[in-house]
Chain A
Amino acid sequence: AQSVTQPDIHITVSEGASLELRCNYSYGATPYLFWYVQSPGQGLQLLLKYFSGDTLVQGIKGFEAEFKRSQSSFNLRKPSVHWSDAAEYFCAVGTASFTGGGNKLTFGTGTQLKVEL
């Protein structure tokens, strides 16, 4: 069974500073990896996804993530954080299977990002 670990529960950064949110996954085969953002009272919005190919993926809002198979990691980065980036961020792993869970997502517990002005 797949699992996701987000070791940082809370992170505080200053506006304009760089950001890296950590994500480690456990899955026996090549995973499908996702980063979602959730603002209060809102649903989850997809930031980016990795299926195969280039291990550095670009997403919306200036975010990027790098898949490192040797480290089982998929860390999210942004070079300069904006106050509007304050939210909760979830890393998730999915499978390629149509059957069974049909590519259900397994989420980490999330990282709450606070941005200081």
Chain B
Amino acid sequence: GAGVSQSPRYKVAKRGQDVALRCDPISGHVSLFWYQQALGQGPEFLTYFQNEAQLDKSGLPSDRFFAERPEGSVSTLKIQRTQQEDSAVYLCASRRQAPKDEQYFGPGTRLTVT
């Protein structure tokens, strides 16, 4: 079956523009995570959904970042008024449900803010 897919794979935005990053999780996976990976760093947690409920958004760096998963499947991470420090790879992961289940990662979206 298909894995986690993300689009676009690459995005270049001018500073101040809004961007939307899409994640298609594995079908039937209840849990969905967004991570941010800066160059040379490990991924850092942004936010977590269980079905359509956003249960933790403690990792979102500012109120310019917003995520949604309205029907409990596809998720969108939106960044408003992008800044240069937002340049990173944004990874989405989905998990069947339980903490013991594996998180499957997508290939990521590389965002470059110029």
Contacts and interface: CB of A to CB of B under 8 A. Distances in A.
Chain A interface, DSSP helix/strand/loop, else mixed = loop
A96 interface: yes
B20 to A, nearest CB: 20
A61 interface: no
Given A42-B107, A43-B4, A102 B55 contact: yes
Contact of A102 (B31, B41, B43, B105): B31
Given A43-B91, A95-B99, A108-B42, A102 B106 contact: no
A110 B99 contact: no
Interface string B44-77: 1100101000011011000000000000000000
Contacts, number: 72
Contacts of B58: 100-101
Given A90-B43, A104-B33, 5 more contacts: A43-B107, A92-B42, A96-B99, A101-B56, A105-B103
Interface of B: 3-4, 31, 33, 35, 40-45, 48, 50, 55-56, 58-59, 91, 93, 95, 98-100, 102-108
